[in-house]
Amino acid sequence: MSNSELSPAYILRLPPELHDRIIDHLHTDTPALDACSLTCRSFLPAARFHRFRHWKLQLSSKNSAQFQQLLLNPHVTLAKYIDFLMLQYIAGDRRWQEDMAEMLPALSHVMKLRLYATDLQPSIAIHLADLTSSVRTLEIGTILITPTFVHLLTFITAFPNLHTLAFIGPISSVTPPTDADSPEPALPTLSAPLDDLRLTDHFHYLPQFVRWASAQGLFARLRALSFYHGLSDKDTDGPDALFAALGPTLEHLNIINAYSENALPLPLARCTRLRSLAFTRLSFPLCTPAGWVWPLPALLTQVETHSVERVALTLTYAHPTLLAHFGWVAQLEGPLSRPEFDGLKELIFELPVTQLRDIQGDVEEAIRSEIPVLNARGVVVVRFF
C-alpha cells in the first residue's frame, strides 16, 4: 500500500504502543512534537511527555510569568509531564522565593534537578522542600558557596532518594577550604542510596568531599564515576584523594573534557578493577600550537590493570578540516597495544554525523588505517551520531 493510500482510519488501527514508539524517536524535534500533539487525542500523551519533560526556569525571564500561569491553571495538565527542571537560584530575592512557593508544590513529578546558584545558602533546601522527595538526580552547576562546605552537604543530604549526584561546573567559595589536617566540623549524614557520582577537578572542596563520602561508605558501593577533567591545573590533592578512595572498586570511568595539555594528571594506576574507560566531549583546538600534545595517550599509559574490556572516545566537534590528518588516532596504537589491554574487546570512536555526513566512509577507513594492529584484532568500532 502506497503512502497516498494510507487513510487516517488505517493508521489509527496500529497498536498505541507503536504510535508511542514512533513519537519517542521525535523527542528532540520540537515542531514534529507540536504537530503530533495536534494530530489526534491518542498522540497527545506521548507528544506532551517529550515536549514538556525538560523545563528551564530563570528568574526575571519573559516566560516565567507565562509558565507560572500554565502551571497553576487547574485546567492545564502540564506539570505532570515535567521530570527535568533547570533552575537558576538567586539568593535573597523575595520574588524568587514567592514564585517558588507557588510553583514547586505542583512539580511533584520532577526527578532530575539542575541548579545554578549565585549563592548556596542553607535556606535553599527549605525553598526546594517540595522537590526533595521526588528528585533522583541532582546536578549542581556553577555556584558560589557561602560560607562553608557544611552548607553544601546540608543541601545535598536534604534529598533522601538521591541516586545520582553531579557537579557539572566550577564550585568555588569565598571561604578558603580548611587545611587537610584541621579537625572536621560535624557534618551531615548521607541517607540517600547514591550510586552514581560525577565530579569536577575545579571543586575547591574536593579533598573534603572525598573524606566525607568515604566516611559515609559511599565509595564502597560506587562502581561508576564521571570526572570533568581539564578545568584546573593547580591542585592535585583532590584527584589523588578521589582515585585513592575509589580505585579498588571502580569499574566504569568516564573522563569528560580531556583535551587540555595543562590538565591535572590522573592517577589511573590506582584503578585496579576498571572494565570500561570512556572519554567524552573530546575536541581539538582549531589551531594546534607548536608542541601541542594530546593528553589522552598519556592517560591511557597510566592504566596498569588487565581488566579493561572497552575504551570509547566521543568527539563533540569534528570539522572535516580538523580530520584531514589522523595522527591523533595513530597515537592510541602504542598505549592500547600494551599487555595491559590484551583483554580489550571494543575500541569505539563516536563522531558527530552532522559535520561528517558526506565523508563517513572515508573517515572510518582513515581511522582504521591509522591503527592497523588494533584493527586487525577486530576491536575497532566507528559510530556516527
Residue pair 346/312 in contact by the 8 Å Cβ criterion: yes
Amino acid identity of residue 102, one-letter, is E
C-alpha cell read off for 145: 558557596
Taking only the tens place, the pLDDT of each residue in 108-160 is 888 998 887 766 666 677 777 778 888 999 988 766 655 577 878 888 888 89
Per-residue pLDDT of the chain (385 residues; tens, 9 = 90+): 455 555 555 555 778 788 888 888 887 788 888 888 888 888 888 888 877 777 776 655 555 677 777 778 887 777 788 888 888 766 566 666 677 777 878 888 889 988 877 666 666 777 777 788 889 999 887 666 555 778 788 888 888 999 999 887 766 665 555 554 555 567 888 888 888 888 875 677 788 888 888 888 888 888 889 887 765 545 567 788 888 888 888 999 998 875 555 555 788 889 999 999 998 887 665 555 555 667 788 889 989 999 999 999 988 765 655 555 677 788 899 999 999 999 999 999 988 877 667 777 888 888 899 999 999 999 999 988 8
Distance CA 42, CA 50 (A): 15
**Of residues 257, 282, 281, 278, the one with CA closest to residue 268:** 278
Percent of the chain with pLDDT over 90: 16
CB environment 175-207: b (16+ within 10 A), e (fewer) = eebeeeeeeeeebbebebebebbbbbbbbbbbb
3-class secondary structure, 64: helix
**Distance set, CA 354 to CA 102, 287, 385 (Å):** 42, 22, 8
The secondary structure of residue 277, as a DSSP letter, is: E
Strand duo 224-228 + 346-351: pairing = unpaired
- Taking alpha carbons only, the member of 284, 337, 286 closest to residue 308 is 337
